[in-house]
Structure 1
Amino acid sequence: MKRLRKITRYIRRSALFKALILIMILVFAIITQTGCSNKEVSKTDFALNTSCTITVGGMSEKEANDILTEAFDVMRQYEDMLSRTVEGSDIYRINNAGGEAVEVSDETIEVLRQGIAMGELSGGRFDITVGRLTDMWNFTGEDPSVPPQEEIDAALPAVDYRNIHIDGNKVTLADPGAAIDLGGIAKGYIADKLAEFLMDKGVESAVINLGGNVETVGAKADGSSWTVGIERPYSDRTELMGKVSLDDGTLVTSGIYERNFEEDGVLYHHVLDPDTGYPAESDLEAVTIMAVRGNSAFCDGLSTVCLMLGKDEAMHLVEQLQEEYPDMGLEAAFIDKEDEMVQTEGMDIQAAD
């Protein structure tokens, strides 16, 4: 009987020991998984003519890396569709069709309609048919220079977004001399699509940075807010004017300092005025537009419009849009040529550390 009791106690102790070990393993697994869930995984690559970074949180490293690889594939698919310089893209084919109708994707139609709407909103200041002028100025080339006046004068009559005719999925340029350039809106559109892609993949925490176009999905995995810096113009990304919290939102900055060159003591920047064919003149050096997630394309176009309008007109336009589209959560910050910043009431840019 005593031996039986000893065996029983041993079995009980052994079972208890095994249970304790099992509990410890489970606790360790939970702690490990929780720790991994807060880890952020990033991928950076060159695309859209800039350095692009996408960061995902709340997932295992392998799962995040797989999704990031897919996301960059999606990004390049849109670039191959919307770039005017990629031979065979929808926009390339439209621009080189000699005025004939070209059938394009649903996505291209969507971006074109957004570009046309921005042209109407801005009274033509934003015009996606400036492609011929963009080619002449060649701001992304190795040796840009001021085009001959006669070439600018010859290109200007064709610059009119109303030359774009859309019939279903077919696009026609009424003036064969026109050429579409989606550089002022495409990155915002792609940021919106990437955010949709990530959410479809189950991502609940992410930040997409397409070089001036930022869009976030949720907050950080640990519950804190994403922080986005507002660059000081001409600082080569070394100084910030301030920073802003951005959860489930988008923030786009346009500036005359992004691409420019100097000739005969004059600085020429890449934001072209469709009325003159020359860089637009205003008292602003940079404009930042913020809104809720899904509005990056709109913010992209609006930031360019505001940069051209100047501080007072731009502020008036944003305030008008805030009343018209209250659910969009529009806010703005304007940096003038005196390095002074003015922001709308809800922008809340904090001083940089």
Structure 2
Amino acid sequence: MRSNANKNIIYSIILLFLVAIVWLYRQNKQEKPASEEQETITGKVTLTGNTMGTTYRIVYLDAEERNFQQAIDSLLGVFNQSLSTYIPDSELSRLNQGDSLRFGLPYFLPVLIESKKVFEETGGAFDPTVGPLVNLWGFGPGGPQLKDSVNIDEILKLVGFNGIQFDSISVRKTKPGIYLDFSAIAKGYGVDVVGDFLANNGISNFLVEIGGELVARGTNEKGELWKVGVNKPEELGRSDDLFSILALNNQGMATSGNYRNYYEVDGLKISHTINPATGRPVSHGLLSATVVAENCMRADAMATAMMVVGTERAIALQEQLKDFEIFLIFNDSLGQMQFHASEGMKPYLSFPTN
């Protein structure tokens, strides 16, 4: 009897062991297709095109590998119909030609709200009404030429974003002749608009770039954070000659610089960055300002403001506001190239080895 009982125990143990093996086998069979499906989710789509007088490049991961090119081009067309200064009947052009505008498209109000916020935070260093001074100094269609102080002082009377008033329905100018130009914020905002479009279509991993302004969400096809380069601030440098590399953790990024967009008169460099307070080009050692923020619209506006205020004030502003990070490249008092990275930027910063 005891022998039979022992045999039954042994058989039971063997049976349980076999059941466990079968269960593990079935689990493995069930999990394998899920793993294969995960691989197909990383289907990579790359789109390129033209917009806002520059180019765009969009990379996203989509299991269905859907092509959103036509939809994105249409979206950017509507966006430009709101905020472009080159389209004669855009909403922005109509405001510049008149005194007020009732909003018809959804893009004008958000850019006004962010512009006012950055204008106030930076003490006017970022100011979308500075466009006429940029043109006056020769960075518009007229080409390079120095201007006399009388013209500058006259136009300065029309510079100041506090001359723009708006609510949820319309915008108006308090002084005739004020001219709005969102070139220092519109590309960043356009990047966000495209990013929102992708997210609304179920895309959670993407990198959108328009004219060097970017927004990244999720990870790339390798499961890593999207990485982008910061160019060396050299007048004749190649576009692939990188100073540093940044990993973007669900953030927007913009870079502004003076090292290429300038002209010389009698050995004097005239920068395209105009100080709205003085009406004259900035003169300091800051060569390039890269800003990383929650969205690209804020990064774009803040990068412009950093180039206006210079290195020391840029560092102080970032430490005061704390909702964006900065990477600055500048010349020190001896003319040597240096850099500054804010604390929140450092973990995501690397440098090319060659």
Report the CA distance between 1:138 and its aligned residue.
Answer: 4.5
3-state SS of the aligned residue for 2:351?
coil
Q: 1:38 aligns with which of 39, 42, 47?
A: 42
Contact 2:135–2:142 (CA<8 Å) still a contact in 1? no
Taking only the aligned residue pairs, the percentage that are identical comes to 27
Instruction: Specify the alignment match of 1:80 in structure 2.
Output: 81
Counterpart in 2 of 1:70?
71
Q: 3-state DSSP class of the match of 1:158?
A: coil
Task: Letter of the 2:219 partner, please give it.
Answer: A
Distance 2:263 2:114 in 1: 30
One-letter amino acid of the structure 1 residue matched with residue 59 of structure 2: T
State the AA in 2 paired with 1:91.
L
* Structure 2: stretches of 5+ with no match in the other structure: 1-31
Query: Aligned partners of 2:41, 2:106: CA distance in 1, in Å?
Result: 36
| Map of 2:292 onto structure 1 | 290
Shift of residue 69, structure 1, vs aligned partner: 2.8
Q: Over alpha carbons, which structure has the higher Rg?
A: 2
The amino acid across from 2:102 in the alignment is E
User: 1: distance between equivalents of 2:170 and 2:62?
Assistant: 42
Q: What pairs up with 1:151-190 in 2 under 5 angstroms?
A: 151-190=151-190
> Is residue 56 from structure 1 mapped to residue 60 from structure 2 by the alignment?
yes
Q: 1:335 and 1:239 mapped to 2: Cα distance?
A: 14
In 1, the alpha carbon distance for the partners of 2:279 and 2:123 equals 16
Letter in 2 for 1:127: D
Say if 1:296 and 1:280 are closer, same or farther in 2 by CA, change over 3 A.
Answer: same
Q: Contact 1:115–1:127 (CA<8 Å) still a contact in 2? A: yes
Q: After the TM superposition, which of the residue ranges 251-260 and 313-322 deviates more from structure 2?
A: 251-260
Which position in structure 1 is the counterpart of 2:276? 274
Cα deviation for residue 36 of structure 1 reads 4.6
> Cα RMSD between the aligned structures?
2.3
Residues 271, 87 of structure 1: alpha-carbon distance in 2 compared, 3 angstrom cutoff = same
Q: Residues 321 and 55 of structure 1: is their aligned pair in 2 closer, same or farther, counting only changes over 3 Å?
A: same
Q: Is the 8 A contact 1:37 1:59 kept in 2?
A: yes
Q: C-alpha distance in 2, partners of 1:352/1:141?
A: 38
Residue correspondence of structure 1 range 1-353 to structure 2 within 5 A: 31=36, 36-61=40-65, 63=66, 65=67, 67-97=68-98, 99=99, 101-104=100-103, 105-139=105-139, 141=141, 143-234=143-234, 235-292=237-294, 295-322=295-322, 325=323, 330-337=324-331, 338-348=336-346, 349-353=349-353
Between the aligned partners of 1:57 and 1:262, the Cα distance in structure 2 is: 46
Give the aligned partner of residue 23 of structure 2: none
Q: Which amino acid in 2 is paired with 1:93?
A: R
> Number of aligned pairs?
314
CA shift for structure 1 position 128: 1.1
SS in 1 for 2:253: strand
Contact 1:254 1:303 in 2 (8 A): yes
Deviations 1:327-350 (A, max 9, x none): xxx221110033211101221221
- Distance in 2, Cα, partners of 1:152 & 1:196: 40
Offset at residue 54 of structure 1 (A): 0.9
- Residue 73 of structure 1: CA displacement? 2.2
> Which string of whole-angstrom CA distances, capped at 9 and with x for unpartnered residues, describes residues 210-261 of structure 1?
1231101211133122111111112242311110111311111111135222
Whether the aligned pair in 1 keeps the contact of 2:45 and 2:62 (CA below 8 Å) is: no
Q: Cα–Cα, structure 1 residues 28 and 117, in superposed 2: closer, same or farther, change >3 Å?
A: closer
Gapped regions of structure 1 (runs ≥ 5): 1-26
Residue identity opposite 2:54 in structure 1 = T
Distance 1:228 1:77, change over 3 A: same
Question: Within 1, Cα distance between the matches of 2:326 and 2:34?
Answer: 45
Q: CA deviation at 1:28?
A: 9.6
Contact 2:253 2:290 in 1 (8 A): yes
> d(CA) in 2 for partners of 1:290 and 1:155?
33
- 1:198-218 Cα offsets, whole Å, 9 max, x none, are 100111111011123110121
Question: Residue 80 of structure 1: CA displacement?
Answer: 2.2
Distance 2:127 2:83 in 1: 16
Give distance in 2, aligned partners of 1:29 and 1:74: 35
In structure 2, C-alpha distance between the alignment counterparts of 1:194 and 1:120, rounded to whole Å: 27
The one-letter code matched in structure 2 to 1:305 is: A
TM-score by length of 1: 0.82
Matched-pair contact (CA < 8 Å) for 1:106–1:169: no
Amino acid at match of 1:56: Y
Cα deviation for residue 140 of structure 1 reads: 5.3
